Chains A and B, each alone.
Chain A
Amino acid sequence: EAQVTQNPRYLITVTGKKLTVTCSQNMNHEYMSWYRQDPGLGLRQIYYSMNVEVTDKGDVPEGYKVSRKEKRNFPLILESPSPNQTSLYFCASRPVGQPNTEAFFGQGTRLTVV
């Protein structure tokens, strides 16, 4: 089954404790992105990657890091989480060269930073 898998789905952590949210897709997609969703703001792109070892900032990259060492994985790293990073996070993937194919979204990760 084609899917994007995020882990964990729920996470409560304390300020300053480094964490990683994993994202894995099994569709051999080149494009992968991270979004955060906040009430009244919709979804905003944090980082994206167009292929292995190619990443770039989205609209709200501050406080986040990503890496793309393998095509299937695109982890989101919060090295020193703060309460303003409490949010719902989505990973998405899409194949390049197929403009008519839409993004697959993961199930979301609810992060709370206390």
Chain B
Amino acid sequence: AQTVTQSQPEMSVQEAETVTLSCTYDTSESDYYLFWYKQPPSRQMILVIRQEAYKQQNATENRFSVNFQKAAKSFSLKISDSQLGDAAMYFCAYRSAVFGDKIIFGKGTRLHILP
């Protein structure tokens, strides 16, 4: 069975600085998707960034980028120029590209932005 592990329950970063959230996963599949979701106080689940496992190039969305290391099964999220609006719970997640529709989530990392 696939698992997703986020080892940092909470993190803090100074506004305008850069922070990296860690995520590791375990799977025997070769084709899958990895995601980072943001959950602000409104509770809405917002997709931040997505990585296809077959792509070697790391995904980037504006200030958000990932470091995808397939062999190491590592998928970290880097937030550059942190803003107060980035404060939220962040979930790393996995979805098989072949079997079913289930998204497997990590336990989350709460990110605090210090003004």
Q: Does B108 contact A107, Cβ atoms closer than 8 Å?
A: no
Q: How many residues of A contact B (CB 8 A)?
A: 25
Q: Does A42 contact B103, Cβ atoms closer than 8 Å?
A: no
Collect the chain B residues with CB atoms within 8 Å of residue A50's CB: 100-101
Shortest distance from the beta carbon of A103 to any chain B beta carbon, whole Å: 6
Q: Does A74 contact B (CB under 8 A)?
A: no
Collect the chain B residues with CB atoms within 8 Å of residue A43's CB: 91, 103, 105
In the complex, the chain A residue whose C-beta lies closest to that of B92 is A42
Shortest distance from the beta carbon of A68 to any chain B beta carbon, whole Å: 13
Q: Does B44 contact A102, Cβ atoms closer than 8 Å?
A: no
> Chain B 30-44, CB within 8 Å of chain A: the 1/0 string?
000101000000111
Q: Does A107 contact B43, Cβ atoms closer than 8 Å?
A: yes
Shortest distance from the beta carbon of B34 to any chain A beta carbon, whole Å: 11
Task: Say which size band chain B's interface belongs to.
Answer: 20 to 34
Q: Does B43 contact A108, Cβ atoms closer than 8 Å?
A: yes
Collect the chain B residues with CB atoms within 8 Å of residue A40's CB: 9, 107
Q: Does A72 contact B (CB under 8 A)?
A: no
Shortest distance from the beta carbon of A14 to any chain B beta carbon, whole Å: 24
The residue from B9, B35, B43, B97 contacting A99, defined by CB atoms under 8 A apart: B97
Q: Does A48 contact B97, Cβ atoms closer than 8 Å?
A: no
Report how far A27 CA is from B4 CA in the complex, Å. 29
**Can you sample 17 A-B contacts with CB below 8 Å?**
A33-B102, A33-B103, A35-B105, A41-B107, A42-B105, A42-B108, A43-B91, A45-B102, A58-B102, A59-B102, A90-B45, A92-B45, A100-B52, A107-B42, A107-B43, A108-B44, A110-B43
The residues of A with any CB-CB pair to B shorter than 8 Å are 31, 33, 35, 40-45, 48, 50, 58-59, 88, 90, 92, 94, 99-100, 102-103, 105, 107-108, 110
